Amino acid sequence: MLKILQICTQRFLSKFMFKKLQQKWKVNTIRVLLILITFAIGGSLTGYAGKRLMTLTGIENLLLFIPLYILLVTILWPIMVLIISIPLGQFTFFLAYIKKLLRRMYGNKTKIAKSKIPFLSPDKQQKEATAFDINKMNIKQIAIFASGAGSNAQKIIDHFRNSSFIKVSLVVTNKPGAGVIQIAQKENIPLLLIEKEKFFRGDGYAPQLIEAGIDLIVLAGFLWKIPASLINAFPRSIINIHPALLPAFGGKGMYGNKVHQAVIEAGKDETGITIHFVDGHYDNGDIIFQAKCAVLDTDTPESLAQRIHTLEYANYPVIIEQLLQQPSL
């Protein structure tokens, strides 16, 4: 009887632990298992390599041996787990994990030079390295991705202008002539202009965003599909707003007035907005929030767009704030 109780308790704790880790790391059960395996193997190899290297030093004095050994394994551990994470497919997770640890250890100060991220200066001719510091560990940092005028981006920036714990730290665009560039310059927010080849076939700029300390990626009229490399680096930390009530009127090519035209042609009497997490498919991630408005008989795509924009401006910044107030994000 005692044995049965012990087994049941172990199974319960195991399931509870996995559920908590899934919520904390924002990954599925299989990835939790792979991450734990990486931790275990990486830790074992760290201990083994540390002992072997210390043996080569010939140091026998415990007062000297122990602190040197601790220092050595502290240096070896991130190297070992990163190596092990590659064949297990968890490299982006551990890269982000280790960088987050380093930010916490060193006061969350992040400096990014122009040589690492192509920030655009206001005159587009700045030759000195551009850098910015985040000095408070508790500040949640947002990167806004936009391809157009940036009206939603401006509303988000305005909403968090005086926030003590949320900061718009980066604006990302894929279009050199996008209106959001002027917004970033006016607001003195660092800007990252991304290239298609690197975004889709490279690392998706994930290392730069991780180094910048970004906690949440907010898509605000960003027209490129988000690559798997970026989704894996920021699991359940990328959100989008769509100008319709998903799953209706979503998918590739459905954006802006094309959506409103489709809604009107379908004879719908209501439409709205959907804020959702981003996954590997267009407009397919878990829905976070929806708001509705009426479709009038006299509506055109342009008139309907005005009411949709009103919903977006009123709700998107609020939902972003609510998400960032959750401990798991």
Work out the number of other CB atoms within 10 angstroms of the CB of residue 133.
10
Cα four-point dihedral sign 291, 244, 145, 210: positive
Does the annotation mark 281 as catalytic?
no
Place of tokens 């009426």: 294
Q: Give the residue ranges of DSSP H helices in 86-134.
A: 91-105
Q: CA 218 to CA 119: how far, in whole Å?
A: 18
CB 317 within 8 A of CB 156: yes
- Among the listed residues 159, 242, 281, 309, the single catalytic one is 242
CB 183 within 8 A of CB 159: no
* Torsion-angle region of 249 (φ positive above 0: left; ψ -120 to 50: alpha; else: beta): left
Q: CA 231 to CA 209: how far, in whole Å?
A: 12
Which are the catalytic amino acids? 242
